[in-house]
């Protein structure tokens, strides 16, 4: 078997052509999101409980195992790979994994290696990310008000995130801001955030809050349909639908007054399942074929059962054929429990 020796040792890509993985509904699976850790240095109120119980570190895949798993997916036709968490940059020695995966960019086997971050570690890592082949990142930012930022993140340092965003821009990274739209918290701030982002050459995407994991607050108090937000924005901006895509579920508009792009991710009011090209891998080797469903495949057992990746390949194929047609998130006061019990940080944001 041919072996590509990366910085993390001998990762064994599968032999054969890179025919896209096709699920039973005819969708090509070309995008893998990988949660490298469930830990985070923030405790955002809509995402986590303040006193979280995280996975024992012994349960996590090693960086070498994550590299081998990602390489197997790339060999099977994945063209875009996103590292997530928790906060991916708090994983110890994470840059070893980023550097290892960057070899697939150099070889032409991967179109994009990117990550989603809260920005807290970007001052330290932005230049290194660029050097490893990362060209674009998503930064989660729900407000530009330092006091409200502290309220929503509980543990976050606003000034540090601002420094991190600037460090990323200086390193040459393209940045997209992700803001969860929250009723009575940031809905009136979205115009200001959009102008701020567009003035700096950054896109902004707004996201509906999703019912995942037990938290201290009632999500019905925070849920803001993006249909309403868009209608409000159209009172002062000219929004034109455009076909721009980044490979994810966002639908984009161009904002005439700012010249920038605004994305909408609407898992609640208009799900995007018909064109879903994504699967999610957790830091323990569990593959979720849908963010909003509990069905999952244990790839860690297949990974550790043999050094021959044909066994792992079979496990991946079987999982892809179980990918569901879609999800059915519900947020209302008659559904007091989250639609999915696991927190977003477990699956990967």
pLDDT digits (tens, 9 = 90+) for 134-181: 999 999 999 999 999 999 999 999 999 999 999 999 999 999 999 999
Cα distance between residue 328 and residue 326, in whole Å: 7
HEC assignment per residue over 194-253: HHHHHHCCCEEEEEECCCECCCCCCHHHCECCHHHHHHHHCCCCCEEEECCCCCCCCEEE
Mean pLDDT in residue range 232-252? 93
Report helix, strand and coil shares of the chain as percent, to nearest 5.
30, 20, 45
Does the pLDDT at position 246 exceed 60? yes
CA distance 289 to 302: 17
Q: Which residues are annotated as a binding site for GTP?
A: 33, 82, 116, 176, 278-280
Closest CA to 139 of 182, 203, 76: 203
The pLDDT value recorded for residue 268 is 58
Q: Which residues are annotated as a binding site?
A: 33, 40, 44, 46-47, 82, 86, 116, 140, 176, 210, 273, 276, 278-280, 290
- Cβ(87)–Cβ(164) below 8 Å: no
Report yes or no on 309 lying in a domain: yes
Residue 58 lies in a domain: yes
Task: Please determine, for residue 331, whether its predicted confidence score (pLDDT) is greater than 50.
Answer: no
- Residue 58, pLDDT > 70, answer yes
* Residue stretches of the annotated binding site for [4Fe-4S] cluster: 40, 44, 47, 273, 276, 290
Q: How many structural domains are present in the chain?
A: 1
Q: What value does the mean pLDDT take over residues 251-274?
A: 84
Write the burial class of residue 183 (CB in 10 Å: 0-12 exposed, 13-18 middle, 19+ buried). Answer: middle
* Numbered residues of the known binding site for S-adenosyl-L-methionine: 46, 86, 140, 210
Give residue 313's pLDDT. Answer: 95
Average pLDDT, the chain: 86
The Cβ of residue 189 has, within 10 Å, a number of other Cβ atoms equal to 18
Supply the pLDDT for residue 50. 84
Find the CATH number of the domain harbouring 300: 3.20.20.70
Task: Give domain status of residue 5, yes or no.
Answer: no
How wide is the angle at C-alpha 347 spanned by C-alphas 342 and 349, nearest 5°? 115
9 part of a folded domain: no
Both tokens assigned to 136: 């674009």
What pLDDT digit, counting tens, does each position of 93-114 carry? 999 999 999 999 999 999 999 9
Paired tokens of 54: 């995280």
- Is there a domain that residue 17 lies in? no
What's the CA gap between 47 and 215, in Å, rounded?
7
On the question of pLDDT at 36 being above 90, the answer is yes
What domain range is 327 assigned to? 27-347
């Amino acid at each position: 078997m041919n072996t590509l020796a990366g910085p993390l040792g001998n990762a064994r890509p599968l032999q054969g052509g890179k025919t896209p993985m096709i699920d039973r509904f005819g969708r090509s699976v070309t995008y893998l999101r990988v949660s490298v850790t469930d830990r985070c240095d923030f405790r955002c109120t809509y995402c986590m409980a303040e006193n979280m119980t995280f996975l024992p570190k012994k349960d996590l895949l090693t960086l070498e195992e994550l590299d081998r798993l990602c390489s197997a997916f790339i060999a099977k036709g994945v063209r875009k790979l996103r590292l997530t968490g928790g906060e991916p940059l708090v994983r110890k020695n994470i840059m070893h994994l980023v550097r290892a995966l960057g070899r697939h960019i150099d070889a032409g086997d991967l179109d994009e290696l990117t990550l989603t971050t809260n920005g807290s570690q970007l001052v330290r890592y932005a230049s290194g990310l660029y050097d490893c082949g990362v060209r674009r990142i998503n930064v989660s930012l729900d407000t530009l008000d330092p006091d409200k930022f502290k309220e929503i993140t509980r543990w976050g340092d606003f000034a540090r995130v601002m420094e991190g965003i600037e460090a990323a821009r200086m390193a040459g990274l393209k940045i997209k801001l992700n803001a969860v739209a929250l009723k009575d918290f940031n809905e009136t701030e979205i115009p200001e955030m959009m102008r701020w982002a567009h003035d700096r050459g950054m896109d902004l995407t707004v996201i509906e809050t999703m019912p995942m994991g037990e938290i201290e607050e009632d999500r019905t108090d925070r849920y803001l349909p993006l249909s309403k937000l868009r209608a409000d924005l159209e009172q002062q901006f000219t929004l034109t639908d455009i076909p721009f895509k980044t490979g994810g579920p966002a639908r984009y508009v161009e904002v005439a007054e700012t010249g920038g792009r605004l994305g909408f991710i609407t898992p609640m009011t208009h799900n995007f399942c018909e064109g879903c090209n994504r699967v999610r891998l957790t830091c323990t080797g569990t593959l979720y074929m849908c963010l909003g469903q509990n069905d999952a495949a244990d790839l860690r057992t297949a990974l550790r059962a043999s050094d021959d990746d044909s066994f792992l390949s079979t496990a991946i194929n079987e999982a892809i054929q179980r990918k569901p047609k879609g999800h059915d998130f519900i947020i209302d006061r008659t559904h007091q429990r989250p639609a999915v019990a696991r927190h977003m940080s477990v699956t990967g944001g």
